[in-house]
Amino acid sequence: MTRNSARSEWLKRNRTRVAVLSILAVLFVAALGGLETEDWFATIMQGLSVGAVTFLVASGLSLIFGLMDVLNLAHGEIFMLGAYVGWTIYTRFDTAVDVLVPLALVAAPFALLPLWRRLGSALIGPGWRRAASWGVLGSGLLMAIGAVMQFPLVIWNPEIYAESPITFSLAVDLGTLAPLPADTWGLPAILAILGVLAGSALVAIGFSAVRPRPGAATALARRQAVWFGAVIVGALVLHAARSPINEWVFGLSTTWRFMLAMVFATLAGAGLGALIEVALIRPLYERPIYQLMLTLGVGFILIEVVREIWGRPEFNMARPAAFNGTGAGCPGQGLGGFFSGCSTVEVFGGRLRVYNEGFVVLVGIVVLIAITLLLKRTRIGMIIRAGVQDSEMVEALGINVRRVFTLVFAIGSGLAALGGVLAAPSIGLSTAMGGLLLLQALIALAIGGLTSFPGAAAGAVLVGLLQQFIIRFGQQGISIPFVSEPFRPSPTLVPAAGVLLMVIVLVVLPNGLFGKSDR
């Protein structure tokens, strides 16, 4: 087949998609014609900024749904949790260190799962296995929680304004932030540590007995014992060195602390996603309605956890120093002004925010390229793409599809958490931020195609651009022939515009712009 005939065949198969994209492009170009140069460039960049954050949430949903047919309704709350975890690393790193120590000790016994399966089978008879298993799990959970409460923890108090997250955010902005005074142990350290390890081991025994795996290997590998010891030693070293670590981190610039926050928030989101998949989603793959109900419930639980720890009031996250410069030489001029250290830059006469329209857009592009290369150029990407097409065939080839599912769930959740920490300096932190972004991501996903990763990017950009055009024309109005006053769209049309675009696209293309018709 010649190149021209192949192109003609492709156009014939995709003529509807090409027509829809062409119409959308014409409409956006026509909208640009009603704006001044400084307005249209700023509007496009603001739309790309909104689209980048939306894409980070929508792309994770796309990966999870494409491979696993699971619609994770807690995805928006993972986005929210990423923002709060990122704020904690950025603002109160000393609290994060104190939390990491008991968390590592709780996780350590799970490295010895083969041993706990063997003990569970030996200690818990088949007659009362389920009841006894839940009893062991519950008692271990109570023991672990009680022991963790005895660990030293320096933390804010949302009930007292002077010690609340709002006050600490202001201290970062003013450059007066310092570590909090060290706390003391509620019990002797050795008793608290042993209590956490014993309680976590009981949880692991009960969990392995509640969900036995027939035929699973029970031999304890050397590397699992090494991991167990390494995690415990690492936790103890981290606790012993917490003072010099805190002093070093608080001595860093806010830019480097923000980079740390991005890394830790992404890892926290990935870890939570993996835990949700292994403990909650995996037993319900044949029950999609239960998956929806379960993930919806997890979302509500995460909201209440955030309210309990960080409080109910909304608060802001200070921008890093690299994107918050003022004074002489600011705003920056031209595209090079994005690297000037100023908070704003003038391009084509329009004023842009370096963080929102520069850094956030750049991170979105980097993530798009990185995930595309992962899916297209690596073995794990090939397995993921094959699993989207036919997971049973992949499993028949001897590949552990369960591990791939867990990895994909972790990647998707990590992307959502990364979006949360990126959005926090722009939109602030609140328990409602997750629900709003989830709705926006679902709209973008429906427009682009539920199982299409490029579709998630295209849908997010379209939704972001449409919203910003509505906001812009709401400020200056749209001139309509034979009407004396320009039409100014109401702010309530901003979310409605995305829904309307989704309806129009789905009427013409029921599977979205890049969706597969065979699913």
Statement: residue 485 has pLDDT above 60:
yes
Residue-wise pLDDT tens digits, 297-311: 999 999 999 999 999
**Residue 477: per-residue pLDDT:** 66
**Residue 11: per-residue pLDDT:** 62
CB 100 within 8 A of CB 459: no
How far apart CA 371 and CA 441 sit, in angstroms, is 17
Statement: residue 373 has pLDDT above 50:
yes
Statement: residue 214 has pLDDT above 60:
no
Q: Is residue 251 part of a domain?
A: yes
> What domain range includes position 289?
18-326+332-336+340-508
Statement: residue 23 has pLDDT above 80:
no
Band of pLDDT at residue 417, cut at 50, 70 and 90 = very high
Statement: residue 105 has pLDDT above 80:
yes
Tell me what the mean pLDDT of segment 198-225 comes to.
73
How far apart CA 212 and CA 201 sit, in angstroms, is 16
Statement: residue 343 has pLDDT above 60:
yes
Q: Is residue 519 part of a domain?
A: no
**Residue 287: per-residue pLDDT:** 85
* Straight-line distance from the first to the last Cα atom of the chain, in angstroms, rounded to the nearest whole number: 28
Statement: residue 145 has pLDDT above 80:
yes
Determine if the peptide bond prior to 481 is cis (ω within 30°). Answer: no
Band of pLDDT at residue 380, cut at 50, 70 and 90 = confident
Residue labelled with tokens 């100023």 = 342
Statement: residue 205 has pLDDT above 60:
yes
User: Which of 66-75, 193-202, 382-391 is the least confident region?
Assistant: 382-391
Token pair belonging to 430: 């609140």
Torsion of CA 129, 130, 136, 137, to 10 degrees: 140
Q: Is residue 124 part of a domain?
A: yes
How far apart CA 322 and CA 340 sit, in angstroms, is 8
SS3 325: strand
Residue-wise pLDDT tens digits, 445-474: 999 888 888 889 999 999 998 888 888 877
Token pair belonging to 469: 């055009």
Residue-wise pLDDT tens digits, 253-287: 999 999 999 999 999 999 999 999 988 898 887 88
Sheet holding 350-353, edge to edge: 332-333, 344-347, 350-353
CB 64 within 8 A of CB 70: yes
SS3 513: coil
Statement: residue 475 has pLDDT above 90:
no
CB 207 within 8 A of CB 80: no
Question: How many angstroms from the chain centroid is the CA of residue 475?
Answer: 32
Phi, psi values for residue 350, rounded to 5°: -100, 150
SS3 290: helix
Q: Is residue 355 part of a domain?
A: yes
On the 0-12 / 13-18 / 19+ scale of CB atoms within 10 A, 298 is buried
How far apart CA 237 and CA 174 sit, in angstroms, is 32
Statement: residue 67 has pLDDT above 90:
no
Supply the pTM of this predicted model.
0.91
How far apart CA 168 and CA 279 sit, in angstroms, is 35
Higher pLDDT, 477 or 22: 22
Question: How many angstroms from the chain centroid is the CA of residue 24?
Answer: 29
**Residue 195: per-residue pLDDT:** 94
Band of pLDDT at residue 127, cut at 50, 70 and 90 = low
Residue-wise pLDDT tens digits, 48-65: 999 999 999 999 898 888
CB 89 within 8 A of CB 183: no
Q: Is residue 518 part of a domain?
A: no
Higher pLDDT, 81 or 34: 81
Statement: residue 125 has pLDDT above 80:
no
Q: Is residue 50 part of a domain?
A: yes
- Average predicted confidence (pLDDT) for the chain: 85
Angle between helices 401-427 and 37-68 (to 10 degrees): 150
Residue labelled with tokens 């923890």 = 153
Tell me what the mean pLDDT of segment 37-45 comes to.
81
Q: Which residues are CB-contacts of 319 (< 8 A; sequence separation ≥ 6)?
A: 343, 355, 425
Tell me what the mean pLDDT of segment 317-340 comes to.
82
Band of pLDDT at residue 479, cut at 50, 70 and 90 = low
Statement: residue 72 has pLDDT above 80:
yes
CB 54 within 8 A of CB 460: yes
Q: Strands of 340-401 (E only): list them.
A: 344-347, 350-353
**Residue 284: per-residue pLDDT:** 83
**Residue 295: per-residue pLDDT:** 94
**Residue 219: per-residue pLDDT:** 60
Q: Is residue 8 part of a domain?
A: no
Amino acid at 214: P
Band of pLDDT at residue 217, cut at 50, 70 and 90 = very low
- CA proximity to 294, closest of 73, 64, 66, 57: 73
DSSP states along 157-218: -TTSGGGSHHHHHHHHHHT---PPPP---SS-HHHHHHHHHHHHHHHHHHHHHHS--TT---
Tell me what the mean pLDDT of segment 332-354 comes to.
82
SS3 479: coil
**Residue 142: per-residue pLDDT:** 94
Band of pLDDT at residue 519, cut at 50, 70 and 90 = very low
Amino acid at 90: Y
Which value, in Å, is the radius of gyration of the alpha carbons in the chain? 26
Q: Which residues are CB-contacts of 199 (< 8 A; sequence separation ≥ 6)?
A: 140, 141, 142, 143, 144, 145, 146, 147
Residue 315 has what DSSP assignment?
B
Q: Is residue 12 part of a domain?
A: no
Number of domains the chain is built from: 1
